Structure 1
C-alpha cells in the first residue's frame, strides 16, 4: 500500500530488508502504565574515551546493542559539517556559528540569524537550496501559522546550515548554485572532514531531508568525533573543531531552541557538546574527550533523552541537574499513572 504522505510517482520501489543483516538492537527504554510495560524502545548505544594505547586510539567504555552497525546520523552530522566550513574560511560570530550546526525551532532569532549569515556575504534567500518546511518547534510553528506563514526555506530547521554553506562558497569563489551536489567542492570538503573526524569510510551515502549528502557511519565513529569536538575547546582552543564546539556551548539556544531538550542538556551540563538527529539519534561530547552516542531503532524521539541521561550517569557524570529531562510521565485522566524510563542497558566492556 502506498504511503498517503507521498504521491504515487514519488514512491520508492519496495525493498525487503535482509533479516540476517538487521542491527542487533536491545531494549533501551520502557514505558509503563500502572506497573505494566506498555511500550519498549530498542536501540544501540556506546560510550568512548580517547586512549592512545587502545586500538585506533579509542577505548570503548561500555556499549549495548549493535554500536558498529552503519546508521545515518542525520542532523547530528551538522557540527562536523560546520567544522569543514570553518576550515574553508567561514568566520562567523559565535551565535551564528552555533546556528550553522543547528536543527533550530524556527523562532525569530533563528530566522534572523540565517538572514544575517546571508547578508554578511552579499546573498539573499534565493541562495538557499534546502527543502521548505514550517518551523520545527510547536510553539514557533503555531505562531508562524497564526500570522499567515507558510512552509519556506528560511523556517526549515536547517536554514542556518544552508546559509553558511552558501556563504562558504562565496568565501572560496565556488559556485553557489548547486552547492548540494556531492561533487561540489564544498561537499567534497565536508566528506573528507567527516572521514577524518570519525576515522571511518562511510558504508554508503544518501540524501538528508534538507537535501545535503548524508553518510552511513557507526555510533563509535560519531562518538569519536563528538569527543574530539568537546575536548578541542579545552586542549586546542584555536582549532576549527574548538570554534564549533565553543559556539554550541555558548549558544545552546541557537543549536535547538527554547523548550528543546538538547538546549537544556547543554545549559545544565557545562562543557558538553550535544546534538540530536531525526530518527532517534543523540550525540554528547564531554570536555575530557569522552562521548556518548545512541540510536533509537524505531526512530522514536521520546526515548532519546532518558537513554542519554542514563548513559551519562554510567559515565559518572552528575546527572542530578538533568532530572527534569531524564524521564517522561505517563498520564491517565490527567494524572501520572506510569513513566517512560531507560532500562539497565549498561554492559561493561
Structure 2
C-alpha cells in the first residue's frame, strides 16, 4: 500500500509503500498490520520495562529515558551513559555495542576535530547497553555474555516484550547494535505503547513513559523528530526504529505504529503526523524536504 509520495519540482518522483496500525476510536489501520516485522529500536521502551522488572534500580528516573534512547551522541548523551555505567561500577569498555561516531553532525565534527575515533559509548544504542549491563550487575549475572539470547537478561526482556505486546515473539534476530531483536506485529507494538501511556502512575510501564516524556532530548537529540514531538505534545510518547519504523501513543487517544516497506526513513514522519492529526492530536509541522543543488525543490507527502 502506498503511504507516501516523494514530490520533486511538482512531479511525483517515487513512492513509499508501507503499513500503519491505528489503535484508537475513529482510527483506521492500513496495510498489513499483523505480519511480524522487526521494530528494531522502537522496542527499547519495552526492553527498559523488562530491565526494571528484572531488578534494575536507576540512580535517577531520567536514566530510564537514556536507557530507552537511540541517542545522537551529543555531549549530554555520552556523559549520561558514562554515569549509568559508573553507577553500576562499570567502565565504557564493558559495552559490547560496535564502535561508532556521533549521529549528530555538530557533535561528530567536534569529536573528529579533537582527533577522536569511533568508540562504543558513542554508538546510538549505548544507553540501552548500559542499562542491560546495570541490570546484570544488579542480579549478579555475567556481563561478558549479556548479548547472548540465552543469557538470563535477554530471556527476561523477551518475556517482557511478549507480555506487553500480547503476542508471542515470531523470531529473534541480531540488531545493528549486536543485541537480540524481536519480531512482532505493528498491532502488537501499538498495543504495548498504548499500555505504557495508560498504565497507572508508579508502575514500571508508566515510569518508562514518564521518564521519556520528561526528558525527550535524551531519547534522541536536539531537533530529532522523536524528541521534538514529545516536547511539543503533552503526554505523547514516541520512539522510532531503523528501517522505517515508528511508534507513538497519546493517553486518552490511542496508539499509531507504522513500517515503511523499503526501510526509507524519510516517509515515517509525514505519514505519522497525518495519522495523528486525523485523531485530533495537535502535532507540530515537521517538513521532510527534497533538495536539489542544496535548495528545497520538493517534499515527502502522505498518501491516504
State TM-score, norm by structure 2.
0.96
- Between the aligned partners of 1:158 and 1:105, the Cα distance in structure 2 is 9
**Secondary structure, aligned partner of 2:120:** coil
**Secondary structure, aligned partner of 1:154:** helix
Unpaired segments ≥5 residues, structure 1: 1-25, 50-58, 345-349
In the TM superposition, residue 31 of structure 1 has moved relative to its aligned partner by: 1.5
Corresponding residue to 1:132 among 95, 99, 124: 99
- Between the aligned partners of 1:289 and 1:190, the Cα distance in structure 2 is 27
CA contact (8 A) 1:255 1:263 kept: yes
In the TM superposition, residue 338 of structure 1 has moved relative to its aligned partner by: 2.5
In the TM superposition, residue 335 of structure 1 has moved relative to its aligned partner by: 5.0
Task: Summarize the alignment of residues 1-349 of structure 1 with structure 2, pairs less than 5 Å apart.
Answer: 26-49=1-24, 61-92=27-58, 93-232=60-199, 236-288=200-252, 290-319=254-283, 322-323=284-285, 325=286, 327-332=287-292, 335-344=295-304
The alignment of Structure 1 onto Structure 2 pairs a total of residues equal to: 303
Q: Deviations over 1:108-143 (max 9, x none)?
A: 111111110111111112221112111122222222
**Secondary structure, aligned partner of 2:4:** strand
- Between the aligned partners of 2:14 and 2:110, the Cα distance in structure 1 is 33
- Residues 329 and 127 (structure 1), Cα distance of their counterparts in 2 relative to 1, 3 Å cut: closer
In the TM superposition, residue 61 of structure 1 has moved relative to its aligned partner by: 3.1
- Residues 171 and 335 (structure 1), Cα distance of their counterparts in 2 relative to 1, 3 Å cut: closer
- Between the aligned partners of 2:109 and 2:179, the Cα distance in structure 1 is 27
- Between the aligned partners of 1:311 and 1:149, the Cα distance in structure 2 is 42
- Residues 165 and 28 (structure 1), Cα distance of their counterparts in 2 relative to 1, 3 Å cut: same
Unpaired segments ≥5 residues, structure 2: none
Deviates more, 1:299-308 or 1:60-69: 60-69
In the TM superposition, residue 334 of structure 1 has moved relative to its aligned partner by: 5.4
CA contact (8 A) 1:231 1:289 kept: no
In the TM superposition, residue 332 of structure 1 has moved relative to its aligned partner by: 4.2
**Secondary structure, aligned partner of 2:269:** helix
Larger of the two Rg values belongs to structure:
1
The CA RMSD measured in Å over matched residues stands at: 1.5
Higher RCO structure (Cα 8 Å, ≥6 apart): 2
In the TM superposition, residue 60 of structure 1 has moved relative to its aligned partner by: 8.8
- Between the aligned partners of 2:258 and 2:76, the Cα distance in structure 1 is 29
CA contact (8 A) 1:230 1:289 kept: no
- Between the aligned partners of 1:329 and 1:128, the Cα distance in structure 2 is 36
- Between the aligned partners of 2:297 and 2:117, the Cα distance in structure 1 is 39
In the TM superposition, residue 89 of structure 1 has moved relative to its aligned partner by: 2.2
User: 1:15 matched to which residue of 2?
Assistant: none
